[in-house]
């Protein structure tokens, strides 16, 4: 191999290396969750659960993971789970809501 071929090969490798590096950076940025938006969504859902006059939210926590709302804790009936999902879904504005709630019998207010 002569010097010009070696330079050409190095230039091609450098080009593809920078191309892949730029692609990896854009994929990382797209995969990074928008923390501020997640926090705003968490607060909005938490507030909606708290403001509902018929839902007891004392034992329910809300987290948001990559734009998905997760409800954790316990409630006292199936109806409470349905209410929590309905309220959270409405406040989340079409975002996915995951139910990780348990039912604890006799745990009334």
Q: pTM of the full predicted structure?
A: 0.67
Edge-to-edge strand ranges of the sheet holding 68-75: 60-65, 68-75, 97-103
- Taking the C-alpha atoms of residue 73 and residue 62, their distance in angstroms, rounded to an integer, is 9
Alpha-carbon distance of 9 to 23, in angstroms, equals 21
Per-residue model confidence as pLDDT tens for the chain (109 residues): 556 666 676 667 666 665 555 555 554 455 555 899 999 999 999 999 999 999 999 999 999 999 999 999 999 999 999 999 999 999 999 999 999 999 998 755 5
Interatomic CA distance for residues 109 and 103, integer angstroms:
14
């Amino acid at each position: 191999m002569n010097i010009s071929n070696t330079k050409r090969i190095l230039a091609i490798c450098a080009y593809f290396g920078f191309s892949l590096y730029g692609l990896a950076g854009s994929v990382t940025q797209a995969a990074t969750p928008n923390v501020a938006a997640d926090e705003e969504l968490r607060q909005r859902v938490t507030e909606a659960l708290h403001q509902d006059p018929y839902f007891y939210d004392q034992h329910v926590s809300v987290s948001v993971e990559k734009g998905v709302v997760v409800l954790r804790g316990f409630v006292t009936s199936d109806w409470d789970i349905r209410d929590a999902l309905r309220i959270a879904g409405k406040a989340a504005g079409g975002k996915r809501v995951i139910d990780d709630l348990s039912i604890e019998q006799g745990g009334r207010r």
